[in-house]
A and B are shown apart, each in its own frame.
Chain A
Amino acid sequence: MKFVKFLLLGIVFGIVMTKSEAVSWYRIQEMFRFQAFHMYGIIGTAVTLGVAGVALIKRFRMRDFSGNPIMFNPKEKSVLRYLIGGTIFGLGWALSGACPGPMVVNIGYGYWAMAVVFFFALVGTYLYALIKNKLPH
Protein backbone atom coordinates (compact mmCIF):
# COMPACT_ATOMS: atom_id res chain seq x y z
CA MET A 1 0.00 0.00 0.00
CA LYS A 2 2.86 2.39 0.77
CA PHE A 3 3.67 2.54 -2.94
CA VAL A 4 0.21 3.65 -4.07
CA LYS A 5 1.06 7.31 -3.55
CA PHE A 6 4.07 6.98 -5.84
CA LEU A 7 1.95 5.26 -8.46
CA LEU A 8 -0.56 8.13 -8.33
CA LEU A 9 2.20 10.76 -8.54
CA GLY A 10 3.67 8.90 -11.52
CA ILE A 11 0.28 8.89 -13.23
CA VAL A 12 -0.09 12.64 -12.66
CA PHE A 13 3.46 13.13 -13.99
CA GLY A 14 2.63 11.16 -17.14
CA ILE A 15 -0.54 13.18 -17.70
CA VAL A 16 1.21 16.52 -17.12
CA MET A 17 4.03 15.57 -19.50
CA THR A 18 1.61 14.70 -22.30
CA LYS A 19 -0.90 17.51 -21.73
CA SER A 20 1.93 20.07 -21.64
CA GLU A 21 3.30 18.48 -24.84
CA ALA A 22 6.73 18.27 -23.16
CA VAL A 23 6.91 14.66 -24.44
CA SER A 24 6.88 15.88 -28.02
CA TRP A 25 10.02 15.82 -30.19
CA TYR A 26 8.63 18.92 -31.95
CA ARG A 27 8.50 20.87 -28.68
CA ILE A 28 12.12 19.99 -27.85
CA GLN A 29 13.24 21.13 -31.31
CA GLU A 30 11.26 24.34 -30.87
CA MET A 31 12.99 24.88 -27.51
CA PHE A 32 16.52 24.36 -28.82
CA ARG A 33 15.71 26.72 -31.71
CA PHE A 34 14.45 29.36 -29.25
CA GLN A 35 11.28 29.76 -31.29
CA ALA A 36 8.71 29.62 -28.51
CA PHE A 37 8.44 30.38 -24.82
CA HIS A 38 6.45 27.21 -24.04
CA MET A 39 9.17 24.85 -22.71
CA TYR A 40 11.01 27.71 -20.97
CA GLY A 41 7.73 28.71 -19.36
CA ILE A 42 7.15 25.18 -18.03
CA ILE A 43 10.66 24.71 -16.63
CA GLY A 44 10.89 28.34 -15.49
CA THR A 45 7.61 28.15 -13.56
CA ALA A 46 8.59 24.85 -11.93
CA VAL A 47 12.03 26.15 -10.92
CA THR A 48 10.70 29.50 -9.65
CA LEU A 49 8.18 27.73 -7.41
CA GLY A 50 10.85 25.15 -6.57
CA VAL A 51 13.36 27.76 -5.37
CA ALA A 52 10.70 29.46 -3.22
CA GLY A 53 9.44 26.16 -1.80
CA VAL A 54 12.89 24.74 -1.03
CA ALA A 55 13.85 28.02 0.70
CA LEU A 56 10.70 27.78 2.85
CA ILE A 57 11.36 24.11 3.67
CA LYS A 58 14.88 25.02 4.83
CA ARG A 59 13.82 28.19 6.65
CA PHE A 60 11.09 26.46 8.66
CA ARG A 61 12.93 23.11 8.86
CA MET A 62 9.89 21.31 7.54
CA ARG A 63 9.45 17.60 8.02
CA ASP A 64 8.14 14.88 5.75
CA PHE A 65 5.04 12.76 6.45
CA SER A 66 6.95 10.38 8.71
CA GLY A 67 8.40 13.21 10.79
CA ASN A 68 11.95 13.21 9.41
CA PRO A 69 13.51 16.53 8.39
CA ILE A 70 13.41 17.08 4.63
CA MET A 71 17.06 16.86 3.57
CA PHE A 72 18.88 18.24 0.55
CA ASN A 73 22.10 16.52 -0.40
CA PRO A 74 24.59 18.88 -2.00
CA LYS A 75 25.94 17.33 -5.20
CA GLU A 76 29.68 16.72 -5.23
CA LYS A 77 31.71 19.69 -6.42
CA SER A 78 33.10 19.27 -9.90
CA VAL A 79 32.89 20.90 -13.30
CA LEU A 80 34.03 18.35 -15.86
CA ARG A 81 31.56 15.55 -15.14
CA TYR A 82 28.59 17.92 -15.23
CA LEU A 83 29.77 19.75 -18.32
CA ILE A 84 30.80 16.70 -20.37
CA GLY A 85 28.03 14.42 -19.08
CA GLY A 86 25.49 17.19 -19.57
CA THR A 87 26.67 17.83 -23.12
CA ILE A 88 26.37 14.15 -24.05
CA PHE A 89 22.90 14.11 -22.48
CA GLY A 90 21.93 17.22 -24.45
CA LEU A 91 23.07 15.65 -27.74
CA GLY A 92 20.80 12.67 -27.05
CA TRP A 93 17.92 14.82 -25.78
CA ALA A 94 17.82 16.94 -28.95
CA LEU A 95 18.12 13.90 -31.22
CA SER A 96 15.51 11.66 -29.61
CA GLY A 97 13.38 14.55 -28.33
CA ALA A 98 12.98 12.87 -24.97
CA CYS A 99 14.71 12.68 -21.61
CA PRO A 100 14.19 9.51 -19.53
CA GLY A 101 10.79 10.46 -18.02
CA PRO A 102 9.12 11.42 -21.30
CA MET A 103 10.54 8.25 -22.92
CA VAL A 104 8.39 5.97 -20.79
CA VAL A 105 5.40 8.35 -20.94
CA ASN A 106 5.63 8.08 -24.74
CA ILE A 107 5.59 4.29 -24.53
CA GLY A 108 2.36 4.51 -22.52
CA TYR A 109 0.98 6.98 -25.04
CA GLY A 110 1.48 4.33 -27.72
CA TYR A 111 4.77 5.34 -29.32
CA TRP A 112 6.43 1.94 -29.22
CA ALA A 113 9.50 3.31 -31.00
CA MET A 114 10.39 4.99 -27.70
CA ALA A 115 10.95 1.52 -26.23
CA VAL A 116 13.98 1.31 -28.53
CA VAL A 117 15.21 4.67 -27.20
CA PHE A 118 14.61 3.59 -23.60
CA PHE A 119 16.35 0.25 -24.07
CA PHE A 120 19.41 1.98 -25.47
CA ALA A 121 19.32 4.48 -22.60
CA LEU A 122 19.78 1.42 -20.36
CA VAL A 123 22.65 0.28 -22.58
CA GLY A 124 24.15 3.78 -22.29
CA THR A 125 23.92 3.60 -18.51
CA TYR A 126 25.68 0.22 -18.62
CA LEU A 127 28.42 1.58 -20.91
CA TYR A 128 29.00 4.45 -18.49
CA ALA A 129 29.41 1.98 -15.63
CA LEU A 130 31.96 -0.01 -17.65
CA ILE A 131 34.26 2.92 -18.47
CA LYS A 132 33.42 5.21 -15.55
CA ASN A 133 36.86 4.88 -13.93
CA LYS A 134 38.61 5.99 -17.09
CA LEU A 135 36.53 9.17 -17.46
CA PRO A 136 37.38 12.57 -15.96
CA HIS A 137 34.98 13.42 -13.14
Chain B
Amino acid sequence: MEFILQPWSWWFSGIMIAAIMFFLMYFGQSFGFSSNLRTICSAAGLGKSTKFFDFDWKAQTWNLVFLIGAILGGFISREFLSSDAPVLISEATIQDLSKLGIAAPESMQPAELFGLDAVLSVKGFMLLAFGGLMVGFGSRYAGGCTSGHAISGLSDLQVPSLIAVMGFFIGGLLMTYLFIPLIF
Protein backbone atom coordinates (compact mmCIF):
# COMPACT_ATOMS: atom_id res chain seq x y z
CA MET B 1 0.00 0.00 0.00
CA GLU B 2 2.92 2.30 0.73
CA PHE B 3 4.01 1.88 -2.91
CA ILE B 4 0.59 2.88 -4.22
CA LEU B 5 0.33 6.00 -2.07
CA GLN B 6 3.73 7.32 -3.15
CA PRO B 7 4.10 9.06 -6.51
CA TRP B 8 5.05 6.42 -9.06
CA SER B 9 8.45 6.24 -10.72
CA TRP B 10 8.85 7.26 -14.36
CA TRP B 11 9.73 3.74 -15.46
CA PHE B 12 6.72 2.09 -13.83
CA SER B 13 4.42 4.80 -15.23
CA GLY B 14 5.94 4.38 -18.70
CA ILE B 15 5.42 0.61 -18.59
CA MET B 16 1.79 1.12 -17.57
CA ILE B 17 1.13 3.57 -20.45
CA ALA B 18 2.62 1.13 -22.97
CA ALA B 19 0.47 -1.63 -21.43
CA ILE B 20 -2.68 0.49 -21.85
CA MET B 21 -1.79 1.08 -25.51
CA PHE B 22 -1.25 -2.65 -26.15
CA PHE B 23 -4.49 -3.62 -24.38
CA LEU B 24 -6.37 -1.13 -26.59
CA MET B 25 -4.77 -2.71 -29.67
CA TYR B 26 -5.67 -6.17 -28.40
CA PHE B 27 -9.26 -5.00 -28.01
CA GLY B 28 -9.24 -3.88 -31.66
CA GLN B 29 -8.81 -0.14 -31.05
CA SER B 30 -5.96 2.34 -30.79
CA PHE B 31 -4.67 4.80 -28.22
CA GLY B 32 -5.61 8.36 -29.20
CA PHE B 33 -7.43 10.55 -26.74
CA SER B 34 -8.10 13.79 -28.62
CA SER B 35 -10.40 12.05 -31.13
CA ASN B 36 -12.90 12.25 -28.29
CA LEU B 37 -13.12 16.01 -28.80
CA ARG B 38 -14.32 15.49 -32.37
CA THR B 39 -16.63 12.68 -31.26
CA ILE B 40 -18.26 14.87 -28.58
CA CYS B 41 -18.83 17.67 -31.13
CA SER B 42 -20.47 15.13 -33.43
CA ALA B 43 -22.58 13.63 -30.62
CA ALA B 44 -23.72 17.17 -29.77
CA GLY B 45 -25.30 17.36 -33.21
CA LEU B 46 -22.75 19.62 -34.92
CA GLY B 47 -22.61 17.17 -37.84
CA LYS B 48 -25.82 18.72 -39.18
CA SER B 49 -24.10 22.00 -39.94
CA THR B 50 -20.43 21.00 -40.21
CA LYS B 51 -19.20 18.23 -42.47
CA PHE B 52 -16.14 17.47 -40.29
CA PHE B 53 -18.48 16.26 -37.54
CA ASP B 54 -20.75 14.30 -39.86
CA PHE B 55 -19.54 10.76 -39.20
CA ASP B 56 -20.63 7.64 -37.34
CA TRP B 57 -19.61 8.86 -33.88
CA LYS B 58 -21.28 5.88 -32.22
CA ALA B 59 -18.43 3.70 -33.51
CA GLN B 60 -16.24 5.75 -31.14
CA THR B 61 -18.32 4.98 -28.06
CA TRP B 62 -15.51 2.80 -26.68
CA ASN B 63 -13.25 5.88 -26.54
CA LEU B 64 -15.91 7.95 -24.74
CA VAL B 65 -16.21 5.11 -22.22
CA PHE B 66 -12.40 5.24 -21.86
CA LEU B 67 -12.75 9.01 -21.21
CA ILE B 68 -15.34 8.41 -18.49
CA GLY B 69 -12.98 5.82 -16.98
CA ALA B 70 -10.18 8.41 -17.00
CA ILE B 71 -12.37 10.82 -14.99
CA LEU B 72 -13.18 8.02 -12.54
CA GLY B 73 -9.48 7.12 -12.33
CA GLY B 74 -8.66 10.71 -11.33
CA PHE B 75 -11.38 10.60 -8.69
CA ILE B 76 -10.20 7.23 -7.31
CA SER B 77 -6.61 8.51 -7.13
CA ARG B 78 -7.70 11.54 -5.19
CA GLU B 79 -9.98 9.68 -2.76
CA PHE B 80 -8.11 6.45 -2.13
CA LEU B 81 -4.59 6.45 -3.56
CA SER B 82 -3.21 9.86 -2.74
CA SER B 83 -0.79 10.95 -0.09
CA ASP B 84 -1.61 14.51 -1.27
CA ALA B 85 2.03 15.49 -1.07
CA PRO B 86 3.19 18.46 -3.16
CA VAL B 87 4.57 17.60 -6.58
CA LEU B 88 8.32 17.09 -6.21
CA ILE B 89 9.58 19.23 -9.07
CA SER B 90 13.24 20.20 -9.28
CA GLU B 91 14.67 23.11 -7.31
CA ALA B 92 15.60 24.85 -10.58
CA THR B 93 11.96 24.82 -11.72
CA ILE B 94 10.77 26.11 -8.34
CA GLN B 95 13.26 28.99 -8.67
CA ASP B 96 12.20 29.81 -12.25
CA LEU B 97 8.50 29.74 -11.38
CA SER B 98 8.95 31.88 -8.28
CA LYS B 99 10.36 34.64 -10.52
CA LEU B 100 7.03 34.51 -12.37
CA GLY B 101 5.12 34.80 -9.11
CA ILE B 102 4.13 31.14 -8.90
CA ALA B 103 4.85 29.67 -5.48
CA ALA B 104 6.45 26.26 -4.81
CA PRO B 105 3.96 23.37 -5.18
CA GLU B 106 1.61 22.69 -2.28
CA SER B 107 -0.47 20.12 -4.16
CA MET B 108 -0.91 18.82 -7.70
CA GLN B 109 -1.72 22.12 -9.42
CA PRO B 110 -0.86 25.79 -8.85
CA ALA B 111 -3.66 27.78 -7.23
CA GLU B 112 -2.37 30.76 -9.24
CA LEU B 113 -3.90 29.12 -12.33
CA PHE B 114 -6.52 26.63 -11.17
CA GLY B 115 -7.76 28.07 -7.87
CA LEU B 116 -11.25 29.55 -7.66
CA ASP B 117 -9.93 33.14 -7.49
CA ALA B 118 -7.93 32.59 -10.67
CA VAL B 119 -10.81 31.03 -12.63
CA LEU B 120 -13.17 33.82 -11.64
CA SER B 121 -10.77 36.58 -12.66
CA VAL B 122 -10.90 37.83 -16.25
CA LYS B 123 -7.22 37.16 -16.89
CA GLY B 124 -7.25 33.74 -15.23
CA PHE B 125 -10.30 32.64 -17.17
CA MET B 126 -8.84 33.90 -20.45
CA LEU B 127 -5.61 31.95 -19.88
CA LEU B 128 -7.47 28.68 -19.26
CA ALA B 129 -9.81 29.30 -22.18
CA PHE B 130 -7.01 30.19 -24.57
CA GLY B 131 -4.90 27.22 -23.47
CA GLY B 132 -7.78 24.83 -24.06
CA LEU B 133 -8.62 26.46 -27.37
CA MET B 134 -5.10 25.94 -28.71
CA VAL B 135 -4.94 22.33 -27.50
CA GLY B 136 -8.26 21.53 -29.19
CA PHE B 137 -7.48 23.38 -32.40
CA GLY B 138 -3.89 22.14 -32.61
CA SER B 139 -4.60 18.49 -31.86
CA ARG B 140 -7.18 18.25 -34.63
CA TYR B 141 -5.04 20.23 -37.08
CA ALA B 142 -2.09 17.93 -36.33
CA GLY B 143 -4.37 14.87 -36.31
CA GLY B 144 -3.50 13.76 -32.79
CA CYS B 145 -2.22 14.66 -29.36
CA THR B 146 0.34 13.23 -26.96
CA SER B 147 -1.26 9.77 -26.95
CA GLY B 148 -1.96 9.56 -30.68
CA HIS B 149 1.33 11.01 -31.94
CA ALA B 150 3.96 10.91 -29.16
CA ILE B 151 3.03 7.44 -27.88
CA SER B 152 1.14 5.52 -30.60
CA GLY B 153 2.66 7.21 -33.66
CA LEU B 154 6.27 7.11 -32.48
CA SER B 155 5.83 3.47 -31.43
CA ASP B 156 4.92 2.76 -35.06
CA LEU B 157 7.94 4.85 -36.21
CA GLN B 158 5.69 7.23 -38.16
CA VAL B 159 7.48 10.27 -39.55
CA PRO B 160 4.34 12.48 -39.40
CA SER B 161 4.16 11.80 -35.67
CA LEU B 162 7.80 12.76 -35.21
CA ILE B 163 7.11 16.06 -37.03
CA ALA B 164 4.05 16.62 -34.82
CA VAL B 165 6.08 15.97 -31.64
CA MET B 166 8.71 18.44 -32.88
CA GLY B 167 5.85 20.90 -33.28
CA PHE B 168 4.66 20.17 -29.72
CA PHE B 169 8.10 21.18 -28.48
CA ILE B 170 8.43 24.26 -30.70
CA GLY B 171 5.09 25.48 -29.33
CA GLY B 172 5.87 24.43 -25.77
CA LEU B 173 9.25 26.17 -25.75
CA LEU B 174 7.81 29.35 -27.32
CA MET B 175 5.11 29.44 -24.64
CA THR B 176 7.51 28.65 -21.79
CA TYR B 177 10.33 31.04 -22.67
CA LEU B 178 8.65 33.77 -24.71
CA PHE B 179 4.96 34.10 -23.81
CA ILE B 180 4.70 32.93 -20.20
CA PRO B 181 7.19 35.58 -18.97
CA LEU B 182 5.08 38.19 -20.79
CA ILE B 183 1.78 36.87 -19.45
CA PHE B 184 2.58 36.39 -15.76
Q: Per-residue 0/1 for A57-99: is the Cβ within 8 Å of any B Cβ (1 yes, 0 no)?
A: 1000000111010101011111101111111111111111111
| Complex partner residue of A12 from B16, B29, B37, B156, CB under 8 angstroms | B16
Q: Main secondary structure on chain A at its contact with chain B?
A: helix
Contact B73 A10, beta carbon cutoff 8 Å = yes
Contact A91 B70, beta carbon cutoff 8 Å = no
| Contact flag A29-B176 (CB < 8 Å), given A6-B65, A92-B135, A116-B132 | yes
| Complex partner residue of B138 from A14, A77, A92, A116, CB under 8 angstroms | A92
Contacts of A94-137 to chain B: CB distance below 8 A? 94-101, 103-114, 116-130, 132, 135
Contact B66 A90, beta carbon cutoff 8 Å = no
Bound Cα distance from A83 to B97, whole angstroms: 28
Contact A129 B41, beta carbon cutoff 8 Å = yes
Q: Main secondary structure on chain B at its contact with chain A?
A: helix
Bound Cα distance from A105 to B158, whole angstroms: 27
- Chain B residues with Cβ below 8 Å from A5 are 23, 27
Most buried by A among B20, B68, B89, B158: B89
Q: Per-residue 0/1 for B13-26: is the Cβ within 8 Å of any A Cβ (1 yes, 0 no)?
A: 11111101111111
Chain B interface size, as a band, is 35 or more
Bound Cα distance from A117 to B137, whole angstroms: 12
- Could you tell me the distance in whole angstroms from the C-beta of B32 to the nearest C-beta in chain A? 10
Interface size on A, residues (CB 8 A): 112
Contact A10 B65, beta carbon cutoff 8 Å = yes
Contacts of B22-71 to chain A: CB distance below 8 A? 22-29, 33-34, 36-38, 40-41, 46, 50-53, 61-63, 65-71
Contact A106 B93, beta carbon cutoff 8 Å = no
- Chain A residues with Cβ below 8 Å from B63 are 6
Contact B71 A95, beta carbon cutoff 8 Å = no
- Chain A residues with Cβ below 8 Å from B26 are 64-65, 70
| A interface list, Cβ under 8 A from B | 3, 5-33, 35-51, 53-54, 57, 64-66, 68, 70, 72, 74-79, 81-101, 103-114, 116-130, 132, 135
What are the 6 tightest A-B residue pairs by CB atom distance, in nearest-first order? A14-B73, A10-B69, A86-B167, A90-B171, A45-B14, A124-B136
